[in-house]
Every structure is written in C-alpha cells, then in structure tokens.
Amino acid sequence: MLAHLRALWLRVPFHHMIPVVIMLFLIKEQFPFSNFPMYSNFDSEADVVFITDQNDKVQPMDKVFRSGSSTAKKAYKKELGKITSKRKRDTKEATAPERAAAGKIVLADWVAIAKPGALAPEIKALRLYRRTFELVDGRLSDKAPELLAEQTR
Amino acid sequence: MSMPSSLPKPRAKVWWQPAVFDYSQLEAFVMRAAFAFLLFYSIKWETAPYKTQRNPTGLAHFFDFTWLAEHPPGPLWQGVCILSLVLYVLGLLPALTLAPTLASAIMIGTLVTSKAMHHSWQAVTLIALAQFLVYAWPRGRQLHRWVLGLILAAIAGIAFREISLLPGFAMAMKPFFSWLGHALNTLIHFTIIGFIVGFLASEINRAKSGLPAEAAPLRPGLPLHRIAIYASTVTFAASYVVCGIVKLVNSDFQWIQKVPYLSVQLLKSNWDGYYDSLVPVPEWLDKVTQGIVDHPHLARLIFGSGLFVELFAFVVLINRRWAFVGGLVIIAMHLSISKIMDLHFEYHMAAALILLMNVPGLMKTFGRASAC
C-alpha cells in the first residue's frame, strides 16, 4: 500500500520539494521552520515604534539597545495580541489603555537591554512612541506619534 | 577534482522530476566552504539582549534558552564551531562536524525569534538542518525505522500536547464540540506533517542506501555530498515557493490587487531604518510611495514580478542553467528590495550565490554538455 502510494507520488512534478512546501506551510513560524509570511498581507495602515528620551529626542535603537525598531514593533504587536485576544478582539480594535499596557511591557524589556553606557547620563526617562502611516483616498498621511509608555531610569 | 568514472551519473528523467546535479568535488568543496562561512556568520552570537522568550517559538515551547543571554557563547565555543566547520569543509564526518554550529544556530535563533520573529537568516539554518539530516540519517533499514519511529513519536507527543492545551474542554456541549473540531483539525494537521516527515526520511534513507559502500567511512564520497547539496537546494527553493503561496492565501488571493498599500509598508520599513540608526530616510521615498499610489498598475507589474519569482522558484531544481538564472533573479529581487524597502536579505543572496549560481561550476553550467 505504502509502496504504491510512493510510486504514485513519485510521478508528481517536483515531488521532493512539494512535501517540504506543505510542511513549511503547516508548521508556520516555529524556528527554524517558517512559512515566511512577511508582507503577505497589508492594509491601508502601517506603524513603527521608536524610543526617545524625556525631551522626545529620538534614540538610535541599534546602537543603544542592540535591537531595532522592527523587532520592538513585532514584540509590541505580540503583547498587544495577547491582551486583545483575551477579550476576543483584533489588535486593530485595541483601546488606548490596551496599547499603553503592551507598550509598557515592551519599553521595560528594551530599557533592560540597553547597552551599558550607551545612554547619556542626562537621560532620566525613556518613552516609547508609535507612529502610523496611512493611505486614505489616494493620499498618504502620517499621523502624530502616539505616546505608548514612559519609564524612568 | 574530476569525477571518478565508477560513480553513477545521476540524470533527471524529465524536467519536472529533477534529480541530484552532477557536481564535481571542487564544486562541492567550494559550496561547503562558502556555506560554512555563511552559517557561522549568520548566527547572532551576541545573545545578551535576549533575556526573555515571552513569545516562544520552536524548541522554546519545551526548553528555556534564556541562559544563553546570561552566558553568551564566547570565543572558546565559537572556536570549537570554527574548528569543526573546517573539518566539515574537508568532508570529515560531516554530520558530527556540522552539529556544533547547527546546534548553536538553532538554539540562538530560537531564543532571538522568541522575542520577535525575524526571517533574515532562517533559511540558512533550515538548509543546515537539511544537510545535517542527509549526512546523519542512518543507512540501514532497521536503524532508519528506529530513528523515524522516535521522530514520529515526538510529533505525536507535540500533537497531543497541542490538543491538551486547547481551551473549552470539559465545559458545556458547545465548547466541547468546538474543542472536538479544533482537536480533529490538530490531529489531521500533525498527521500530514508525520506523513511528510516519513516520506522525506525514507527518501533520504533510500538515496543513501543506494550509494556504494564508503571506502573511507569517516570521509564520505562525492555522491553523499551531492545529495546534501540537492537537499539544500530543495529546502531553499521551497522556502521561496511557500513564501509566495502564503502571500496568496493570507491576502485572500488579493495580493496583487493590494499592491498600492505597499506604499505605507515602504514608508514603515524606511522609517524603521531611521529609528535604528538615525540615518535620514532617502529623499526619493515620498515620491516613490506616492508614485505607487498614483500608478497602481505599474506598481502591480513591478511588485507582482517578485511574487512570480517566489511562486516559480522551483525551476532552480530543473538543471544547472535554470539554477544559475534563478539564482541571479533571486539576487536581483533582493537587491531591489534592499534599495526600495531598506530590508536586507544578505544571507538569502549569499545562499543563492553559493547553491544556485555556483560560480566554480560556471564552465560546466554553460558548457555544451550541460545537462543536470
């Protein structure tokens, strides 16, 4: 039976690659396996997060935290997802307090991993902001950044 | 470095049923050397920033890798990896000598992606895993069954763990039926994975068992290296094809239609780069993003070609020439993404250069007798 199935399968084009594709598709994101879903779907909105000091001076995330804006955004979305999924809602429907709660967790993580000495001594607090880009009626717009969290050092 | 005449000359029967390419010793050696460098270089050895695995992925569901943040692998362990990779390049006990670096890549990669998902070096680790499985998989039927049985038992264990974690059990009837539906879904999901693992493992076992007995078991011959390179190429091609399929599925087959929305993604990715380094975003960014919105069909044509490249990446398995052209196109695609979106896939480009373009084999690729 299995031998027959195998013989049949070996007639399928690219019969070694197709099982790997199916496997990656089913396993999804479990390192080192992945279905590589980056930019697989998008809508009219996209956001970035960044960190500033107490005077809103932007801090270079790679240099200061060794972990960039894109990673922080993904971590923020994951935390937000955990919060909103408890209430059976999508992250797009998150309220301001929910976004702030997720932002607080992420900022705490990023403050904890700051490179020793990379932050100037006069920096007393760090802020996490979210900036959203939007395509509305054929025009691109850039909303004022939203303060998600602030943490003193 | 030419191939001994006693070696079987593998040849594809028809183009859609590709077989192992007839790489020479020199080509296989250069590929191993370049890939060893790529694998080592792709590992994020600086693990100190990854103190939590709050969003576990892969083995992080079962093991805590945060100790790597407290004790980042230092020069001693990296030295062990380099030394073992030198032996791997020389073809000495390749499974054993690839293992330390592969283990480091998987553990560190799991820790890093358990903070937030990254995809820049994932394919390289996956290729290394495929090579390791080819080199390490037992030849004998009995041992093959034992190892496969253990792996299938582990998959079954993960499936039952998943089912036990499903919410809604032991409640009213409706949650029970909801749980039952999810449980059946999970069972089918893992059964398919189990079948695929069984098929691929049997194919590796069959291919290895069909090889002549090794004259020097510590240093396997060219046919095994060819199989390992073939497995690497299959894995690499599959990662592009699945990426294309996921684009279609996740967008409800509207990906091409939605291309104008890529304009906001371009803004996002370029501003990401600014917040990482404080290097100003390019001056042309606003013009290009608005251009995508103003000329949606042209944008669909340009970005749609990227989707086409991904979906048809399997052509690199047909023969050497297709592999070369496919590799060239993949590198061109990544270079344009680097320029426009500030997203860099150096490791993918390097893998395409090593496995597909295969520079040492260019003469053979474009020689008269080039077949497979």
Question: In chain B, what percentage of residues exceed pLDDT 90?
Answer: 77
Task: Please state, in angstroms and rounded to a whole number, the distance separating the CA atoms of residues A142 and A134.
Answer: 6
Q: Which of B276, B322, B345, B355 would best serve as a mutation to test chain A binding (most A beta carbons within 10 A)? A: B276
Q: What is the pLDDT of residue B7?
A: 44
Tell whether the torsion through CA atoms of A94, A98, A99 and A103 is positive or negative.
negative
Size of interface A-B (CB pairs under 8 A): 212
* Contact status, residue B241 vs residue B313, Cβ threshold 8 Å: yes
Does A68 lie at the interface with B, CB-CB under 8 angstroms?
yes
Mean pLDDT within A40-53: 93
| Contact residues on chain A for B263, CB-CB shorter than 8 A | 135, 140
Task: Please state, in angstroms and rounded to a whole number, the distance separating the CA atoms of residues B18 and B5.
Answer: 22
Contact A46 B265 (CB under 8 A): yes
At B120, is the pLDDT very low, low, confident or very high (cuts 50, 70, 90)? confident
Q: What is the pLDDT of residues B250-284, one digit of tens each?
A: 999 999 999 999 999 999 999 999 999 999 999 89
Task: Please state, in angstroms and rounded to a whole number, the distance separating the CA atoms of residues B372 and B363.
Answer: 13
Does A48 lie at the interface with B, CB-CB under 8 angstroms?
yes
Q: B262: buried, middle or exposed (CB in 10 Å: 19+, 13-18, 0-12)?
A: buried
Q: What is the pLDDT of residue B2?
A: 43
Q: Which residues contact A11 (CB under 8 A, 6 or more apart)?
A: B17
pTM metric for this prediction: 0.90
Does A137 lie at the interface with B, CB-CB under 8 angstroms?
no
| Nearest neighbour of A32 by CB, restricted to B126, B237, B271 | B126
Q: What six digits make up the tokens of B328?
A: 């060239």
pLDDT at B65 over 60: yes
| Contact residues on chain B for A10, CB-CB shorter than 8 A | 17
Q: Rounded mean pLDDT of chain B?
A: 91
Interface predicted TM-score of the whole assembly (ipTM), two decimals: 0.90
**Helix, strand, coil fractions of chain A, as percent rounded to 5:** 40, 25, 35
Q: Which of A20, A27, A78 would best serve as a mutation to test chain B binding (most B beta carbons within 10 A)? A: A20
Does B268 lie at the interface with A, CB-CB under 8 angstroms?
yes
Q: What angle (nearest 5°) sits at the alpha carbon of residue A46, between those of residues A40 and A48?
A: 115
At B3, is the pLDDT very low, low, confident or very high (cuts 50, 70, 90)? very low
Task: Please state, in angstroms and rounded to a whole number, the distance separating the CA atoms of residues B352 and B348.
Answer: 6
Per domain, the residue ranges of chain A are 40-152
Which residue of chain B is at minimal alpha-carbon distance from A44?
B261
pLDDT at B303 over 80: yes
pLDDT at B169 over 90: no
Does B257 lie at the interface with A, CB-CB under 8 angstroms?
no
Q: Which DSSP letter does residue A33 get?
A: B
At B354, is the pLDDT very low, low, confident or very high (cuts 50, 70, 90)? very high
Q: What is the pLDDT of residue A153?
A: 78
pLDDT at B170 over 70: no
* A65 min Cα distance to partner chain B (Å): 8
Amino acid at B362: L
